[in-house]
């Protein structure tokens, strides 16, 4: 089951992911320009990265929908 993760944790996790892709300080400027582009879907030719906060909300919403739509979920 998905839980809402703290924003501080998600922020730290996003930072770790960004550091994985962009390690030098010179690349940080390029990263700022291209991060939004990298988050575009794969069918548009990009990497398809998804921000953690967005995914956390999506997965939590999915669980809520499952609880509402399935009478035997409890």
Q: Report the chain (74 residues): mean pLDDT per 10 consecutive residues.
A: 70 74 59 64 71 75 82 65
Question: Cβ contacts of residue 7 below 8 Å, gap of 6+?
Answer: 53
Q: Are 49 and 17 in contact (CB under 8 A)?
A: yes
- Helix 7-21 crosses helix 52-69 at what angle (to 10 degrees)? 130
Pairwise CA distance, residues 26 & 60, whole Å = 36
Are 56 and 9 contacting, i.e. CB atoms less than 8 angstroms apart? no
User: What pLDDT does 1 receive?
Assistant: 44
Predicted model pTM: 0.42
Q: How far apart are CA 69 and CA 39, in angstroms?
A: 31
């Amino acid at each position: 089951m998905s839980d809402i993760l703290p924003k501080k944790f998600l922020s730290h996790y996003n930072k770790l992911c960004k550091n994985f892709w962009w390690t030098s300080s010179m690349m940080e400027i390029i990263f700022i320009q291209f991060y939004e582009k990298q988050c575009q879907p794969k069918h548009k030719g990009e990497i398809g990265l998804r921000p953690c906060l967005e995914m956390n909300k999506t997965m939590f919403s999915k669980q809520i929908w499952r609880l509402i739509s399935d009478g035997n979920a409890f």
